[in-house]
Every structure is written in structure tokens, then in C-alpha cells.
A and B are shown apart, each in its own frame.
Chain A
Amino acid sequence: MMIGNWLDIGPVTQIEPGTARTLPVVGSDEIAVFHTMRGEFFALRNQCPHKQGPLSQGIVHGEVVACPLHNWNISLRTGKALGDDEGCVPTIPLRVDAGRLYLLRSAVVTRAEAA
């Protein structure tokens, strides 16, 4: 369902704290939606800047995810690789309202529109 610029992707309860779930986008990149242990939500392209590891499958600690393939630590807030590693994964603006999650539509489908 769409409300203006924001795409409703369902209730917050779908994602257990400390985990992430995925949102494939036809014609564009899969998105990983994270729920941190501290109760915040973030959305990122589900591809590690290192070698495209699926970030959704990593261990979430604080507001960081450790990539499941080679353990790069990626900031969920900025998408940047932390520590000595360099790289950045696009983040998708996310809003929580009345228990539901919304993604900024233009950020979700950029690639598809460009294609």
C-alpha cells in the first residue's frame, strides 16, 4: 500500500528485535530491514560493500551489523563500513508510525525507474 511518498511495508512486529528481514524489489536491489536490540529500525540495500554479502543475515549489535561473509561491520545508520574497512551501502529512509513501517518510495525504486 502506498501513502504519498511512503511505502507501507507492514507492522513493526514482523521483525524480531536483533534481526533483519528482506524485501525483494522487482527490477531493483533487495532491501534489508533491521530491527535493533534497542528498538530502532533501519533499511539498507541488502548487499555488503565488500563482496555483496547479504547483510540481512548478519549479527546485529548496537546499531551495527556484522556481515555474514567476512565480518565487516556496517553502520545501520549511515551504511558506512566501520573500522579499517572502507565502503558504503545505500540506506533507505524509514519511518515508523503507529506501529507500522514505511520506506521512502523514491529510495526503494530508484534503480527500477532508472532501468
Chain B
Amino acid sequence: MNAPVNFERDSFPGSGRERLVVIGNGMAGCRAVEEILARDPLRFDVTIFGAEPRVNYNRIMLSPVLAGEKTFEEIVINTAQWYEDNAITLVSGDKVVAIDRAAQSVIAASGRVEPYDRLLIATGSDPFIIPVPGKDLDGVVTFRDLDDVDRMLSAADRGGAAVVIGGGLLGLEAAHGLNLRGMKVTVIHLMPTLMERQLDEAAGYLLRSELERRGQTILTGANTREILGEGGKVVGVRLEDGTEIPCDIVIMAVGIRPATALAREAGLDVERGIMVDDHMVTSDPAVLAVGECVQHRGTCYGLVAPLWDMCRALADHATGAPTGYEGSVTSTKLKVSGIDLFSAGDFLGGEGCEDIVMRDAARGAYKRVIVRDDRVIGAVLYGDTADGSWYFDLMKKGADISPIREALIFGQAFASGGALADPNAAVAALSDDVEICGCNGVSKGTVVRTIQAGACSLDAVRSSCKASASCGSCTGLVESLLAVTLGGEVQSGPRTLCKCTSFTHDDVRRLIVEKDLRLIPQVMQELHWTTPDGCSSCRPALNYYLLCAWPGEYVDDQKSRFVNERMHANIQKDGTYSVVPRMWGGLTNPRELRAIADVVEKYDAPMVKVTGGQRLDIFGIRKEDLPAVWADLNAAGMVSGHAYGKSLRTVKTCVGSEWCRFGTQDSTGLGVKIEHMTWGSWMPHKFKIAVSGCPRNCAEATIKDFGVICVDSGYELHVGGNGGIKVRATDFLCKVATEEEAMDMCAAFTQLYREEAHYLERTAPWIERVGLQYVKNRLAEEGAVERYAARFRYSQQFMQDDPWAKRAAGEDAKLHQHLAEVRPFPTAPKPQLENA
């Protein structure tokens, strides 16, 4: 099938027709000829040059060929017979190397010279090769033509591992094919999201999970530094971060560049592509161009649909009935069997755009339609692409969607139902035995009866008949039923976590555990987030909830943290930071004081202050200097004081029995022990502890989240105090006899709060919400204190490594360093002041 085909024309000698020469025997070149023949079969003598040694085939079907779903014969578009029947001279396997515009002829590699009256350039694109060391090794292939597929197939026959560089459409189709052919496949993608030009984060996440489930390794945010070789052959790939991936073949699929070299050398106008007008005419009226190699109204295309429109306009013009091409809107599908994915238009959204999002976790579906000024401007669909062409059509027509706005996201069948465009009306029309909640098997009739029996809010329905209480995908339906059944009397439910979700904090926390959710995008998908990537309220909350639910396993998401927690210091109004090292229980010593004094001098800190939390605060440190400051403090044995975090802050103490004439117990010693037990723990909000040596309470333990008042007979434990915006004295929790019991109760209470409070809810409002009795009951359950305390101590194993030490050792250096410094006037004379 690879043999060169050469059809010499012997008929029509000296026919006197115009000679049309086509460079490029690909999809656009041949389609253009077909279109011309359909209009005026006798107008031109046609000669087509093709660099590939074969007839024209459907390039986009190379993916199914690689995957073993099609053979080459099945994807041929124009057979040898077609060229013969239409008296077309096909010069295949012979590349055109020059165009002589003055002589109106082209010169091929074989030396063949072909004169033309009209020339058509349809050279397509060249794969882009990233300029890394090793790019020329044997075993580095691109994915563009049948030869590439043959190279991949012979590698797959030998088995082994493949690395695909580029997680776009082409790369993923290559990876899929090689995976099916039994290779171990790793995809390396520079960007955080696969197919980021077509997909948003949410759809990219679903796609990635599915590919991983199929056994592919996907590395995002990964940059290739070098392709490794031995004896001239590929043996692996090394990434920027040093990771090495052994492999036998590398597929380079990072993008394409319009093939413009011939046109450029011939002096035609070329920018990114060969410049053409609306009739596909280049800067030389005798030369036309079409396909991926052209640039039309500023755009170069990389998909076939626009080529068909271009070819139509070209043929109209070439046969004397010009119409014109006005550009195309494109849509994308991924040809990987079993994965339904559709993307069209502008999916980035932004200013003035509105996102309509629907997620169906049960079916693994995600739909997002982007609307601006009542027009659909983009769509991303994953898992359920049935309505892709409908959205695409609305988009191309620029249709006003305001009449079907509410039902748009449910798809064409729903939205075009006239009266049914109102979702409430649609729900009202459902019969009573239709299942509303799949998870709990609740029918419409049951939900309606529950509402009629007095459940007037979403929450009441959830707790009475369980509808929408599990995965929540039917929340919208239940809300509609509430509206339909009650008319206007729906009570607004409890406050949702944020505007991105209909779930409350409690729901989210419960479902993370119940449904075993382990990543932020996974929570967003499974719980039907209505935004693609959340907001600055829900991201930090989800990050905390996951961290609390999966200690030791969840990897903290830095970009979901507020600046102070990301920088491990407190941002100040001028953008500098303050640094507070831990002083256990408020104690310090000459070594620590000296280190602090040295830091203050060395980094020229404008102020150092004793805080209200019994330690020292160094002000005015620049973000670049933070790691160095921390390294100096670490050297004196000091660690982060977490003065910046939703975390354990300070444990204040008083002098206690060791010195004070009233002291009953060693309050200082206990405070130090408690701080060693609790430091480093992330919390729903900040958390403060104090230990006073007697009821005079010099450590102000009764306005702390957890307070200990020592008495002769033991320790009185207090909870839920707050000395801040709204002062609240603590509630008395219980009294214990020993230090050990006090510590256990502290750990248990802390963990209960960590597991149950809402993000950004301190212990005071939490206890006011749930009631002191509830807290007491929870801790009074059989074995509860031990269980909670054990869970707290378990999670502390992973939390008690000093975040400063890691930064001082170079981790996350990017957070501190500038990209570079711009000096606009390097040659400007130095300021006079220097000598002053």
C-alpha cells in the first residue's frame, strides 16, 4: 500500500486547457480539485504533487488506524481509479522543492519541472518539534502521516514503553492507540489541564481520570528537558524536575506549524500561514492556497471542517463564480473510543460571560455552556455530548437563547419542548412513579407526599425521604418539586458552602467521607459544583476538609490557600511580611533571643514587638528574604509559630506552681507539653489555648478556644472562648484529675472541632450553633475521648514538620523569587548620589 503511484496522463494532449498544478496531495488539495471538477470538469488539466508515496486518504482517521479500528484501505478517499477517471496526473513520492513564479512552474525533488497557469498550494502543516537535546534520536516520531503510524506500529510490535509529549488532541489519540496496542504509555503535558485549548479544568480532570483508569500515566505541568539516547536510539525522557521515564519510543505531538517554506521562498506574503483573501488567492493572483497552510483573516486552522468551506469558495472562484469564504467557527471531538468529549468556541469565558454548569456524577457527565449577551459563545461537554451539535448550531447562528435560558443546559429535547422550557413545568408534567432520586430510589409521588406532609425546604425533604441526600444530582428536581407543590412558600434552606454549590458545609464534609472523595476537582464533579473551578471561598474550605478527612494522604493544594498560609508569614499592608517564631508556652532563652536580635539587624527589620500571644513578632521582611530569615531562626532551634494560619496559634501560660505563690499546678510545663502536642495542626479557623495556674487566670484561659484552669484537685477544662471581635467567655466542659487526662481531652476536643466545624467558624460560634450539650454528649460516648484523641495524634504525625525548614532548604523557591528584574536603561549614567 506504500508503493508510489504514478499515473501519467496520455489523453487530451495539447487540449489547450488551463494547467492547474496542485502542491500537496492531502485532504484540502484533493477536496479542492473535487470541488472544481464538480463545477467544471473540463476547465483544467490537473497535476497533483504529493510528498507522500500514496493516494489521498483521510488523515484524521490515522488515529483509528493506529488503534487497530480501521485499515489503511478503509480510509483512502481518492483511489488510483479516481485520478485515472478524472485524467489527473498524480506525481506521488516527489516533493516540490521550489516555485518559479516568473516562469510559472514548479520544480520537484526528482528534477521534474511542471509549468502552470494556476498554482494551488495545499501543503498542510508540519509537526512542531521542541528543540530539546535528543530530538533527532532514532525512535523520536511525530504523528502526521501513514509513515509515522507505521513507525509507531512497529515499535508497538516490539512492546515496551512509549512517552507521548503533548496532551492535546493528537497526543492523546496517539497515546490511546499505543495503549490499546499493549504499550505502557506516559503522556507528558506542559499545561495543568489536558487539551487545555479545548477543555476547562473540570472536563480535563474527568478525561485524565478516565485515561488513568485505562492504565496511562499522565504527567501534567511537566516540561521535557531532554530525550535520552544510547547508541543513537531513544531510551528515555528526562523532565525539568529531574524525573526520568524510560521508554522505547517518543511521540512528539506538541503542535503544528503551517508548512509555508515553499511559499515564503517564492516571495509570497506569509505571516504564520500563507496569506489568502476570501477567495483563497495569495498575494500572486496566479497562485491559490488552501488548507492548514493558509492564514485567512488572521486565523490558521488545524481541523478539517474549515477546509471544506475554503475549498468551496476556492472552486467557486476558480470556475468564475466567486462567492467568498468568511472564516469558520470550529468544534472538537476526541476520537478515543468510549470517551465522549465535545468542545466548541470560547470556553474561557471571562468578563460579561455567564457559565451554566451541570454535572451528573452518576453518569460522569459535565456540561458547561458559556453565554454572553444571550448568545451561546462556547460549550464544553464531557460524558454526554448528545447536544454538542445543537449548542454548536446555536453558537454558529448566534441565536438569541433568552426564551430557553432556564432549560438550555438540559439539552435540546428539554429546551425545545415549548411550555416545557420552564423546568418547573417539566417536572410538574412527570408522572408520579418517575424516579427522582436514583441513589435512594425515591419516586416523584413520594417526594410530593413528603412535601405535603410538611417538609417545606430542601433540607427537610432530604432528612424525611432522603431524596437528593446522597449524591445530590437531583437537587434541582427536588427544588422544582418544592416550588410546584408549595407555590411560593419554599423556605430557603440552610446556607450553602458558597455560591458554587447547593450543598452546605455539613453536607460537603459528610459526602467527602461517604463517597471517598480525595481531590478538589473530584469533589466539585461529584457534588455538582456550578462553577468550573470554584472560588476563593470554597477552594480553601475544600482543601481543609480534604486535609482533615485524609491525613497523611491528601496532598495540600497550595494554590487554594490564602497568602499567609502559602507564604508561612503574615502579609502586611505594604506587602512585606511579619515573622513570628514559636516560643513554646511563652518561654524563651538567650539563644532564641539572640537569633531574633540578629535577624532584626541582619535584615533591617523596622520593628520587633511582643505580641498578645506571648512571643515576638518581627516586621517588614520581604518575601525574597523569608527563607533566609527562617533558616537563621531554624539554626537557633525555632520553628514556625503559625501566627498566620487557620491552625493552632499560641498556648499562653502563666508562671504557675514553679514560682507563683498561688500556683496550684505546673501550668507552664503543661502549656509547653500541650503546645508540643498541638502545634502544626490545621483547623477550621485559628485556635488558641491557654493554661492558668489558678483561678486568678493570668493566662486569660477563659477567652480561649481551649482553656485550662489549674486547681488543687486537678484541672478545669473550658472551651469555646473568644477574646476577639465578639468577646465570649468559655463554657466549662469538665474537670479531670491528671495532666494526661487534660491532654487527652484537649486532643479529643480539638479533633471533634476539626472534624465537625465549618471552615472559618471558630469554636465560639461553633458551640453556639451545635450547643455545649452536643459537644459534651459526643465526648461522653463510650471510648470517644480515646478515639478522637487517637485520630488527632495520628494526623499530627504528618503535620509536625516545620514548614519553614522546608522552605529554607529550597522547597517552593518560586513563591519567593522574582521571575527576573527588568532594568529598562542599562546604559543610563549612574545617579550622582553614589559618592555622597
Chain A interface residues (CB < 8 Å from chain B): 7, 9-19, 21-28, 31, 33, 37-40, 51-54, 57-63, 66, 68-69, 71, 73, 75, 77-78, 80, 98-99, 108-109, 112-113
Within 8 A of A (CB), among B474-521: none
Is the Cβ of A57 less than 8 Å from the Cβ of B567?
yes
A42 nearest CB across to chain B (Å)? 10
B810-836 contact mask (Cβ, 8 Å, vs A): 1 or 0:
000011011111111100000000000
Is the Cβ of B190 less than 8 Å from the Cβ of A13?
yes
Query: What is the bound-complex CA distance between A15 and B348, given in angstroms?
Result: 19
Query: What is the bound-complex CA distance between A17 and B561, given in angstroms?
Result: 14
Q: Looking at the complex, which one of B191, B575, B821 makes contact with A53 (CB distance below 8 Å)?
A: B575
Is the Cβ of A99 less than 8 Å from the Cβ of B130?
yes
B349-367 contact mask (Cβ, 8 Å, vs A): 1 or 0:
1110000000000000000
Main SS at interface, chain B? loop
- Quick one: which of A19, A57, A62 has the most chain B CB within 10 A? A62
Residues on B with C-beta less than 8 A from A98 are: 128
Tell me whether B562 is interfacial, beta carbon within 8 Å: yes
Is the Cβ of A59 less than 8 Å from the Cβ of B351?
no
Query: What is the bound-complex CA distance between A26 and B820, given in angstroms?
Result: 11
Query: What is the bound-complex CA distance between A21 and B825, given in angstroms?
Result: 23
Residues on A with C-beta less than 8 A from B540 are: 59
Is the Cβ of A112 less than 8 Å from the Cβ of B825?
yes
Tell me whether B240 is interfacial, beta carbon within 8 Å: yes
Which of B14-22, B390-398, B529-537 interfaces with chain A? B529-537
Query: What is the bound-complex CA distance between A69 and B128, given in angstroms?
Result: 43
Residues on A with C-beta less than 8 A from B350 are: 62-63, 75, 77
Q: List 6 A-B contacts (CB under 8 A).
A: A13-B190, A38-B200, A52-B575, A62-B350, A62-B532, A62-B535
B372-400 contact mask (Cβ, 8 Å, vs A): 1 or 0:
00000000000000000000000000000
Q: Looking at the complex, which one of B201, B558, B820 makes contact with A9 (CB distance below 8 Å)?
A: B820
Tell me whether B221 is interfacial, beta carbon within 8 Å: yes
Residues on B with C-beta less than 8 A from A68 are: 562-564, 571
Tell me whether B25 is interfacial, beta carbon within 8 Å: no
Residues on B with C-beta less than 8 A from A16 are: 221, 559, 814
Is the Cβ of B534 less than 8 Å from the Cβ of A61?
yes
Q: Looking at the complex, which one of B221, B535, B558, B573 makes contact with A51 (CB distance below 8 Å)?
A: B573
Query: What is the bound-complex CA distance between A21 and B128, given in angstroms?
Result: 28
Q: Looking at the complex, which one of A19, A38, A108, A109 makes contact with B348 (CB distance below 8 Å)?
A: A38
Is the Cβ of B349 less than 8 Å from the Cβ of A62?
yes
Is the Cβ of A12 less than 8 Å from the Cβ of B190?
yes
Is the Cβ of B223 less than 8 Å from the Cβ of A13?
yes
B526-552 contact mask (Cβ, 8 Å, vs A): 1 or 0:
000001111110011000000000000
Is the Cβ of A21 less than 8 Å from the Cβ of B534?
no
Residues on B with C-beta less than 8 A from A22 are: 818-819
Q: Looking at the complex, which one of B192, B201, B823, B824 makes contact with A113 (CB distance below 8 Å)?
A: B824
B110 nearest CB across to chain A (Å)? 34
Residues on B with C-beta less than 8 A from A108 are: 822, 824
Within 8 A of A (CB), among B221-238: 221, 223
- Quick one: which of A7, A18, A52 has the most chain B CB within 10 A? A18
Residues on B with C-beta less than 8 A from A78 are: 351
Is the Cβ of A28 less than 8 Å from the Cβ of B824?
yes
Residues on A with C-beta less than 8 A from B571 are: 54, 57, 68-69
Residues on A with C-beta less than 8 A from B574 are: 52
- Top 4 closest pairs, chain A to chain B, by CB: A18-B559, A17-B192, A39-B196, A68-B563
Is the Cβ of A99 less than 8 Å from the Cβ of B192?
no
Query: What is the bound-complex CA distance between A37 and B557, given in angstroms?
Result: 12
Query: What is the bound-complex CA distance between A18 and B561, given in angstroms?
Result: 11
Q: Looking at the complex, which one of B201, B539, B824 makes contact with A27 (CB distance below 8 Å)?
A: B824
Query: What is the bound-complex CA distance between A27 and B539, given in angstroms?
Result: 37
Residues on B with C-beta less than 8 A from A59 are: 536, 539-540, 559-563
- Quick one: which of A24, A73, A75 has the most chain B CB within 10 A? A24
Is the Cβ of B351 less than 8 Å from the Cβ of A23?
no
Query: What is the bound-complex CA distance between A19 and B574, given in angstroms?
Result: 20
Is the Cβ of B240 less than 8 Å from the Cβ of A13?
yes
Tell me whether B640 is interfacial, beta carbon within 8 Å: no
B632 nearest CB across to chain A (Å)? 23
Query: What is the bound-complex CA distance between A60 and B293, given in angstroms?
Result: 37
B747 nearest CB across to chain A (Å)? 31
With contacts A12-B190, A18-B192 taken as known, whether A24 is within 8 angstroms of B818 at the C-beta atoms is yes
Query: What is the bound-complex CA distance between A11 and B130, given in angstroms?
Result: 13
Is the Cβ of B190 less than 8 Å from the Cβ of A61?
no
Query: What is the bound-complex CA distance between A109 and B822, given in angstroms?
Result: 9
Tell me whether B193 is interfacial, beta carbon within 8 Å: yes
Query: What is the bound-complex CA distance between A18 and B560, given in angstroms?
Result: 8
With contacts A13-B240, A18-B192, A99-B130 taken as known, whether A25 is within 8 angstroms of B559 at the C-beta atoms is no
Within 8 A of A (CB), among B197-254: 197, 200-201, 221, 223, 240
With contacts A37-B559, A51-B573, A53-B575 taken as known, whether A26 is within 8 angstroms of B814 at the C-beta atoms is no
Residues on B with C-beta less than 8 A from A58 are: 536, 563
Residues on B with C-beta less than 8 A from A17 are: 191-193, 221, 559
Residues on B with C-beta less than 8 A from A33 are: 819
Query: What is the bound-complex CA distance between A12 and B572, given in angstroms?
Result: 29
Is the Cβ of A38 less than 8 Å from the Cβ of B533?
yes
With contacts A58-B563, A112-B825 taken as known, whether A14 is within 8 angstroms of B533 at the C-beta atoms is no
Query: What is the bound-complex CA distance between A71 and B564, given in angstroms?
Result: 13
Residue of B nearest to A32 (CB): B819
A8 nearest CB across to chain B (Å)? 10
Residues on A with C-beta less than 8 A from B823 are: 26
Is the Cβ of A69 less than 8 Å from the Cβ of B351?
no
Is the Cβ of A39 less than 8 Å from the Cβ of B824?
no
Residues on B with C-beta less than 8 A from A113 are: 824
Residues on A with C-beta less than 8 A from B623 are: 57
With contacts A27-B825, A59-B560 taken as known, whether A66 is within 8 angstroms of B536 at the C-beta atoms is yes
A17 nearest CB across to chain B (Å)? 4
Query: What is the bound-complex CA distance between A25 and B817, given in angstroms?
Result: 14
Within 8 A of A (CB), among B267-322: none
Query: What is the bound-complex CA distance between A7 and B822, given in angstroms?
Result: 9
Is the Cβ of B825 less than 8 Å from the Cβ of A75?
no
Is the Cβ of A77 less than 8 Å from the Cβ of B533?
no
